[in-house]
Amino acid sequence: MSGPLLLSIESSCDETGIALVEDGRRIHANVVASQVALHAPTGGIVPEVAARAHLRWIVPVLDEALETAGVTVRDVDAIAVTYGPGLAGSLLVGINFAKSLAWAHGKPLVPVNHLEGHLYAGWLLDPGEADREAPGFPLVGLVVSGGHTFLVEMRDHLSYRLLGRTVDDAAGEAFDKVGRLLSLGYPGGPAIANAAERATAHDRVFPRAWMGASYDFSFSGLKTAARRIIDEARADAGLPADAREGPLPDAVVAELAWGFQDAVVDVLARKTIRAAEETGARGIVLGGGVASNLALRARISAGAAARGIGMVLPRPGLCTDNGAMIGAAGARRLAAGELAGLDLDARPSLPLAR
């Protein structure tokens, strides 16, 4: 073993994730219990339901992770845990569990910012995957998830300068809301991406909010426009305004999904590439659930390649919340000597830069 083995715990939102990661890179196990099915009937996350689900699943998830990696808690060098940002009740389950393990086994406890975890997911290697070289600093990082959308400059590991952020909704939130308007179910992101793949016509244009020359984003106007465009499409199809009284034809849903996705991808990709060019970045880091979107990945990767800019791109399964990304960031914090005491508390609004 070349570096410390971390047991890392993620419970900030609606996924219970526990991983074993060596040296902040090599995944030995990465088990995620998703609550998607649990939250689908309400079309969104009910915080208390999420917290109770973490409580129910955290021990079985730990057992499976240890079994997969073939280790016991005694074998690990430290325990890393997400302490914010996120839902307080959900965070408390993971933090309390991590503390109990650290106390009972006499292991150091490493506090990890969830957003930093998303940024470090791209450095992870799957079991057996060949090592790949990451571009050097400076880097520009785009985090796009259900709760966050922002661009940062990284001049070194663990160092962040905020370039821009959403002034209203997160990109994932917009996907989820428009997914509901199109009756595509929860979560909207993957459902819209799938529907967009089936589009045969590509001429429904949704508005883009450029926010001047800034690196900020805004998605609430797009959401309002989507409602209007969907209403118009229903009227054109001779359907009543209420979606429960008849679904839009599949082909129209696909066209609308494509138009919406294209608007989000266009803004995210252009701003990220411009930020990389203007800051002289050698690479672009993507993270967060929306970074699993294939159209976004392809657009940013192509723009970066055309300019000789490298990519730090996690595979789609590591973009959404998981424990391994917490182990990746946690190893860097451990190396920097940043440990938490057993009085560690949840920080629901923790910013990225400490």
Give me the residues that bind ligand KG4 (CB under 6 A), please. 13, 145-147, 172, 175-176, 187-190, 193, 288-290, 292-293, 320-321
According to DSSP, the β-strands at 109-113 and 15-22 are unpaired
Q: In terms of CB distance, is 209 or 286 closer to Zn ion?
A: 286
Q: In terms of CB distance, is 13 or 27 closer to ligand KG4?
A: 13
141 binds, among ligand KG4, Zn ion, none (CB under 5 to 8 A by kind): none
- Binding region for Zn ion (CB under 5 A): 145, 321
DSSP state of 147: S
CB of 324 to Zn ion, least distance (A): 13
Q: In terms of CB distance, is 77 or 266 closer to ligand KG4?
A: 266
- CA 177 – CA 242 distance, rounded (Å): 16
320 binds, among Zn ion, ligand KG4, none (CB under 5 to 8 A by kind): ligand KG4
CB of 342 to Zn ion, least distance (A): 25
- Helical H runs in the chain? 36-39, 47-69, 88-105, 114-120, 171-181, 188-197, 220-236, 250-279, 294-306, 316-319, 323-335
DSSP state of 239: -
85 binds, among ligand KG4, Zn ion, none (CB under 5 to 8 A by kind): none
According to DSSP, the β-strands at 139-144 and 149-156 are antiparallel
CB of 174 to ligand KG4, least distance (A): 8
CB of 12 to Zn ion, least distance (A): 7
CB of 223 to ligand KG4, least distance (A): 13
- Please provide residue 110's backbone torsions phi and psi, each rounded to the nearest 5 degrees: -110, 120
CB of 172 to ligand KG4, least distance (A): 3
Q: In terms of CB distance, is 22 or 262 closer to ligand KG4?
A: 262
- CA 53 – CA 55 distance, rounded (Å): 5
Contact yes or no for 324/124 (Cβ under 8 A): yes
189 binds, among ligand KG4, Zn ion, none (CB under 5 to 8 A by kind): ligand KG4
Residue for token pair 């426009």: 225
Q: In terms of CB distance, is 18 or 102 closer to ligand KG4?
A: 18
Peptide bond into 138 cis (omega under 30): yes
Dihedral (Cα; 82, 85, 86, 91), 10-degree rounding: 30
153 binds, among Zn ion, ligand KG4, none (CB under 5 to 8 A by kind): none
CA 133 to chain centre: 22
Q: In terms of CB distance, is 13 or 248 closer to ligand KG4?
A: 13
279 binds, among ligand KG4, Zn ion, none (CB under 5 to 8 A by kind): none
Q: In terms of CB distance, is 216 or 321 closer to Zn ion?
A: 321
The counts of H helices and E strands in the chain are: 11, 10
292 binds, among Zn ion, ligand KG4, none (CB under 5 to 8 A by kind): ligand KG4
